[in-house]
Amino acid sequence: MVQTPGVFYLEEENWPQTPVHLPDLPEEFLALHRGKQLVSSVQVKCLLNLTERFSRFSSWRGLTRSIAWILRLKRILVSKQVLRGPLTVEELEVAKVAVCTLVQKEAFSDELSALQFPKNTSRPSQLNRLRKLNPTVIDSLVRVGGRLTNAPLSFSARHPIIMPNDHHVTRLLIEDIIGEWATKECPVLRQPFAKATGF
């Protein structure tokens, strides 16, 4: 049982008074913090709100470039580095992985926890949606596993990233890949992503 302080049982006239004037901060404290900028961070509690914003983009390239700029700004604020110039290929790749990770956390939360912590899995049916793809987690992304591990193919061809079938980001990816294929005379097999259902 929780005990409340006795002051709450007194009449309002007998409550302690709030000080009208707060004391000034010591000069030592002000000298230490003078000229520093305070940056506060907000933790996103719901991935749905974040991935909902992805639906405002009409192209995969626009989405990844926007996320790359946001990640660059975050790096500037955290490490206080001065980064100038256009986005690098590495920054764009990191942004693509970040977008795919967020989408997978939203769409495959049960499957992701079952893959990362197999002993804590309460139901074996958690992986039923992805069972045919033999899913595995590589670098925080759910990818297709299986017998192609030793095949003489690129890593993204051996282990495509699994994306949800009905997500807006998946549609953007498909449109981008089809657009790339349409501009080439003879498209080569390049499938870094796989849809979760429809097999």
Comparing 186 with 30, the larger pLDDT belongs to 30
Comparing 97 with 145, the larger pLDDT belongs to 97
Q: What is the pLDDT of residues 15-65, one digit of tens each?
A: 777 666 666 666 766 666 565 554 444 444 445 567 788 889 999 999 999
Residue ranges with strand state E in the chain? 135-138, 141-144, 161-163, 193-195
Question: In whole angstroms, how far apart are CA 129 and each of 47, 108, 111, 171?
Answer: 21, 9, 8, 19
Q: Domain range holding 70?
A: 48-195
The reply to whether 76 falls in a domain is yes
How far is residue 66's CA from residue 54's CA, in Å, rounded to a whole number? 10
The reply to whether 146 falls in a domain is yes
The mean of the pLDDT values for the chain is: 76
Residue 141: beta bridge partners? Answer: 138
Which pLDDT score, from 0 to 100, does residue 123 have? 55
Q: What is the pLDDT of residues 81-117, one digit of tens each?
A: 777 889 999 999 999 999 999 998 888 888 887 787 7
Dihedral sign, CA of 81, 85, 90, 91?
positive
- pTM as predicted: 0.64
Q: What is the pLDDT of residues 65-77, one digit of tens each?
A: 999 999 998 888 8
Which pLDDT score, from 0 to 100, does residue 42 have? 46
The reply to whether 131 falls in a domain is yes
Which pLDDT score, from 0 to 100, does residue 96 have? 93
How far is residue 134's CA from residue 24's CA, in Å, rounded to a whole number? 64
CA end-to-end distance (rounded Å), the chain: 57
Q: What is the pLDDT of residues 113-137, one digit of tens each?
A: 778 777 665 555 556 678 788 888 8
Q: What is the pLDDT of residues 4-13, one digit of tens each?
A: 666 667 777 7
For residue 127, the tally of other CB atoms under 10 A from its CB is: 18
The reply to whether 31 falls in a domain is no
- Dihedral, CA of residue 16, residue 22, residue 28 and residue 32, to nearest 10: 110
Q: Where are the alpha helices (DSSP H) in 42-153?
A: 47-53, 60-79, 89-107, 109-116
Which pLDDT score, from 0 to 100, does residue 186 have? 44
The reply to whether 39 falls in a domain is no
Structurally, how many domains does the chain consist of? 1
